[in-house]
Chain A
Amino acid sequence: MQERQWAADACKGDEIAFHELINSQKRKLYGIAYSYLRNEADALEVLQETVCRAWMKCGKLKDPDTFIPWLYRILMNCCVDELRRRRRVDVISQEPQQGTIEMVDVNKLDIERVLNRMKPKYRHALMLKYYQDMTVPEIARILEKPEGTIKTWIHQGLKQLRGQIEQGGGWDHE
């Protein structure tokens, strides 16, 4: 209830309420950012950018109940932006790497590689289900899609994960 009141006040431009609301979510927001970016500095940077964008735009929200889902969407979009930027930089500055991954869990590297290549909508759905442990209706609310669509995305995401890991990766999308 407290969060709803903060959200209602934040929508009216109340900075203190906005700050309280973000404080109540900051750890979870950071965790989600970390799940995409796998790096503390980048996750903090994206958290900062998310808070900035949310504070700039929260006055446009009409329904306080949508505040948290909306905040998550901003965060996930910021993460995707950062990954796209990284991919671009990687292409420009790729250097051959040798002998640097012996100590890293290969399974996790595989999953990370597949998630990084997956369509963002599938990745968002998988992250919300298997990291945030959300139900399909909860995910549907955050991603603003019907529950059936979310089930399809989760199914497709898992299918791609299985297929690409078995094949050793490498497909194109969009």
Chain B
Amino acid sequence: MNRREEQRLIDYFQSSHIAEQSIEDTLLDKAVVQGIQMGSRKRRSFMFRYRAGIMAGTLALCIGLFILMWPRIHVGPSPAADKVNFTAPDYVKSQISHNSAWLEAANHGLYQPINQTREQGGYRVTVDGVLADKRTMIFFYTAENMDGSSTPAVNNTKFLGTDGKSVSASVESDSFSQLSNKKVVQNRYILNFYGNDTTPDKFTFTGNWGPGQASDAKRQKFEIPVKLDRSKFINLEKHIPVHQDMMIHGLKATLDDATLYPLSTELGFSYDKKNSRKIQQFIKPRLTLKLQDQAVESAFRGSSLTENEPNRMYFNSLYYTDFSSLQFRSDGVEESLGDHLSIVVDTSKRELVHAPDDRVRLGNVITDSGSTEIQFHIKRGSNSLSSLDLDYSFTDGKGHTHKVATTRSESRILDPYSSHSSNDDFDVYHYFIDTKSYPQPLTIPITNYPGNEIRQPITIPIQ
């Protein structure tokens, strides 16, 4: 009885078949390339949650890491780096070999086999080993579904310290996962430690394993204690005092020091506290070093912010690199518009009440039965500038705090996101709130906002 509707649909989609076949390759290629470029820009910035309570509990430390992919071509690999001189499972060797700094560190004895296995409920999880220095830990594990054919999947993974709380580190989990077959997953996490926190000697790796879609009740909780030998790395650092000032358009910054670790390089900056104007980021920061007659750059990996200024900057490791000179370079700075910025919007009148400047405008307000999408248009500037980001909480006109909307099953937060149209000179920021009556206006704190771009080359000699 559906045959007539089915035929109508098949006829209807004929025009899509024709469009699919007749579209020019150049147009498709342009869309693909622009999509990748946009994605590359956006994936540079994502926030890591960082356990509060450090730095004597007084300093609001915000780790805003702008992670670039670990580059495949790394500065300074010695000829010996091409060889694997440590014992590990093949997938670990393969992963470590992709990064010459990791390989150098592993070949210098910093890979520690753990080989701790737990089995329960048809699952087997093995912590294979750890490549670690004082600031970075790369953690390798294998999970196997011994009974079924589905791929084992994990949620709620944690690295718990001896106090039972999550260790103070940013955890990256999204860069590698390998299926040796459908039942076995090999994976890694990268933990970065900041401030006074360092790689611990004891911690417990926990997670809930089960089939991909299983609820928590159907998953197996694993707790695997791990012990490391910190004596292998705790003293491996080279500290270089610098104390060089730079001044740019009335903004002063001091490069205090550089510290080289086997798996990363850290620079420490301080700023003129009397000046109310602030640098919120350096434009295109990099380390330039001389290797024999060749100048090479070491890629920027991220920065940690104290009071919204980048007090520590992280680069790829130079520890095992034999350089003759080292410089910090940047193309300029981005000056912050100020602390505690916010957007105030009246969604019932569809009016933007307040924004930091006229680069933000209110776009559409789209109401569904479950959620209301507020679209903000932000004028597109230089690629080097920060992008708009809003907090996941906002306050209504009576000062009550609300969270952003979740999906109907409340299983997932509707994350705000940016989109981009090549026909417009602005990006669209999509922000979702529950559809209900709020006392107006709504105040949404800004967590990231493009500042004033000041372009002026900066060079500071380190060594």
**A and B associate:** yes
Closest-by-CB residue of B relative to A163 is: B5
With beta carbons under 8 angstroms apart, the residue of B5, B29, B31, B69 that contacts A13 is B69
With A49-B420, A130-B9, A158-B2 already in contact, the answer to whether A13 and B175 are too (CB < 8 A) is yes
Residues in A whose Cβ lies below 8 Å from that of B34: 48, 51
Does A62 interact with chain B (Cβ within 8 Å)? yes
Residues in B whose Cβ lies below 8 Å from that of A44: 27-28, 30-31
With A28-B20, A45-B421 already in contact, the answer to whether A8 and B13 are too (CB < 8 A) is no
Closest CB in chain A relative to B99 CB, distance in Å: 12
Judging by beta carbons under 8 Å apart, are B366 and A85 in contact? yes
Judging by beta carbons under 8 Å apart, are B366 and A26 in contact? no
A35 and B11 alpha carbons, distance in the complex (Å): 12
Q: How many A-B residue pairs have CB under 8 A?
A: 156
With A19-B36, A49-B420, A84-B366 already in contact, the answer to whether A162 and B16 are too (CB < 8 A) is no
Does A103 interact with chain B (Cβ within 8 Å)? no
A158 and B9 alpha carbons, distance in the complex (Å): 9
Residues in A whose Cβ lies below 8 Å from that of B213: 144
Does B162 interact with chain A (Cβ within 8 Å)? no
Residues in A whose Cβ lies below 8 Å from that of B36: 15, 18-19, 22, 51-52, 55
Interface size on A, as a range, is: 35 or more
A71 and B408 alpha carbons, distance in the complex (Å): 22
A151 and B268 alpha carbons, distance in the complex (Å): 60
Judging by beta carbons under 8 Å apart, are A43 and B19 in contact? yes
Judging by beta carbons under 8 Å apart, are A55 and B43 in contact? yes
With A15-B36, A56-B43 already in contact, the answer to whether A40 and B2 are too (CB < 8 A) is no
With beta carbons under 8 angstroms apart, the residue of A31, A64, A89, A111 that contacts B364 is A89
With beta carbons under 8 angstroms apart, the residue of A48, A63, A131, A158 that contacts B31 is A48
Residues in A whose Cβ lies below 8 Å from that of B423: 41, 45
Closest CB in chain A relative to B321 CB, distance in Å: 23
Does A127 interact with chain B (Cβ within 8 Å)? yes
Per CB-CB distance, the 6 closest pairs between chain A and chain B, nearest first, are A51-B35, A31-B20, A55-B39, A59-B174, A131-B13, A35-B16
Chain A interfacial positions (CB closer than 8 Å to B) = 8, 11-13, 15, 18-19, 22-23, 26-28, 30-32, 34-35, 38, 40-41, 43-45, 47-56, 59-65, 84-85, 88-89, 107-108, 111-112, 126-127, 130-131, 144, 155, 158-159, 161-162, 174
Chain B interfacial positions (CB closer than 8 Å to A) = 2, 4-6, 8-13, 15-17, 19-21, 23, 27-32, 34-36, 38-40, 42-43, 69, 151, 153, 174-179, 185, 187, 212-213, 364, 366, 368-369, 417, 419-423
Known: A27-B20, A62-B153. 16 other contacts (CB 8 A): A11-B176, A15-B36, A23-B29, A30-B20, A32-B16, A51-B32, A53-B39, A55-B35, A56-B39, A61-B177, A84-B366, A85-B366, A108-B15, A111-B9, A130-B6, A144-B213
